[in-house]
A and B are shown apart, each in its own frame.
Chain A
C-alpha cells in the first residue's frame, strides 16, 4: 500500500491518495528495477509549483521486497533516471480516481482539498517537473583534441539537460563516493567511477586521448547520438597535465545554460576556481586543469563504474 502526495501547492493542502493492490505492486516492482528513480525528499525542484510526488510505502514487507525507501520523491527532477520516475509517477497519478483512493483512514481529511477527479489528474500530470526536463537542445560542438591539436570539427548535436541539482550529489551518504565522471555522466554509482573501467578499457595514461577513449569505451560518444540514445548529456573533458599535478576533470551542461561539475569527493558546484558561474568550460578558471580536451556526449547505453 502506498500513500501518494502531489507536492504541488504552497498554501492549500496538497492532494493525497492511497494506491493499493496490484497497482501498488506494479509501481513498486517498476521502481525496484531502477531504484535510482526514487529520489531523496530534498532533491530536485524545490520552488513554487509542481515538485513531483511524495511517495510513502506504508508496509515494511513492501520496502524489503522491492528495495525502495520508506519515503521518497518521484518525478521531481531529482533523480538520475527521470524518465523511469515519470513513468511510475504517471501510473500512480492515474490511480487517484480509483474508488476509495481519497477516503482511506490513513489520509487526513483537509479542508480546501481539491476533489480527486480527472481534472486534478490532468493538472498534476501536466505540471510534473519531469515533463519539462530533461530538455532537448542543440549543442554547437567545437572539439579540440590535446593542446597541440587545432579545432578539428564543428557540429550541431541534440542533447538533453536537467536542472542543476547539487543536493542529489552532495548528500553526505554519497558525496565522497562520486567524482567528476559520475557527475558528468549523471550516474551516481558510489564507485568513484573511472573512464573505461566498466568496459574493461580504463585509460593507461592521463591525457585527452586515453581518458576520452575510456569514456567512449563505456558507451560515450564524440559524435552526435540518435534520439534512441536519450538522455544525451553534454560533457566536457579537461586535463591537468603536470608536471606533478596530473589528473582529469569533467563538466556537464545544465538546463539553466551553465555547466555543473563535481571536483572529486567534494560538493557539486556551478562555479569555477574564481567563483564565477561556468558559462563555458573552455574559458572557466580551471586551476591546474589547463588543457581543454573536447566536448562529448554520454548516452543511454553508457555504463560507468
Chain B
C-alpha cells in the first residue's frame, strides 16, 4: 500500500500545512508521476526553495520499497535517491502536477491560501 503525505513549504513563523492523500488520490498521484516529462536535455536550473513565501512542496511517499522523498518546485520534480538508485528529475510543464497536488490540500491550506498559491 502506498501512503503519500504532502507539506507545503510556505511559512516562516507558523508550522507548514501538511496533509495526507486519500487512497484514490494516491492512485491518481502515481499516474500523474508516470506522465511527468523527462529532462533529457541540459540540467534543470535550481528551484527556488529559499526566501519568504511559497517555496515548494515536500512529498513523502511510503511504499513497500521504502520511503521516497520528492520535492516539487519551479516546474520540476526531484526524486531523492531511494536505496542505491540515483536521484531523478522530471519536468512539470506548466506546473500542472504541482497544482493538482496543491488542490488535494484544500482543507489543510484553506480556500484563500489555496487560491493564493494557485494564482
Contacts from A to B (Cβ < 8 Å): 179-181, 192, 194-195, 206, 211, 240, 242-250, 261-267, 269, 272-273, 286-289
Contact = CB atoms under 8 A, between A and B. Distances in A.
Given A245-B10, A245-B116, A264 B51 contact: no
Contact of B55 (A244, A247, A266): A266
Given A263-B50, A266-B9, A273-B51, A247 B110 contact: no
Contact of A263 (B51, B114, B115, B116): B51
Contacts of A273: 51-53
Interface stretch (B13-21, B26-34, B78-86, B89-97): B13-21
Contacts, number: 82
A265 B110 CA distance: 21
B76 to A, nearest CB: 17
Interface secondary structure of A, over-half rule: loop
A25 B113 CA distance: 55
A247 B12 contact: yes
Interface of B: 9-16, 49-55, 110, 112-117
B116 A181 contact: no
A192 B52 contact: no
A261 B52 CA distance: 10
Contacts of B113: 244-246
Nearest to B54: A245
B34 to A, nearest CB: 30
Nearest to B15: A192
A266 B49 CA distance: 8
A195 to B, nearest CB: 8
CB-CB nearest 10 A-B residue pairs: A244-B116, A287-B53, A244-B112, A287-B52, A248-B13, A249-B12, A244-B113, A263-B12, A180-B12, A273-B51
Nearest to B116: A244
Contacts of B116: 242-245, 288
B102 to A, nearest CB: 12
Contacts of B55: 263, 266
B50 A264 contact: no
Contacts of B115: 244
Given A263-B52, A273-B53, A287-B53, A248 B15 contact: no
Nearest to B50: A266
Contacts of B9: 264-266
Nearest to B113: A244
Contacts of B53: 240, 245, 273, 287-289
Given A242-B112, A266-B55, A247 B13 contact: yes
Given A242-B112, A243-B112, A244-B115, A287 B13 contact: no
16 contacts: A240-B53, A243-B112, A244-B112, A244-B115, A247-B14, A249-B52, A261-B12, A263-B55, A266-B9, A266-B49, A266-B55, A273-B52, A287-B53, A288-B52, A288-B116, A289-B12
Nearest to A274: B51
A211 B13 CA distance: 10
Nearest to B111: A244
Given A245-B113, A245-B116, A181 B13 contact: yes
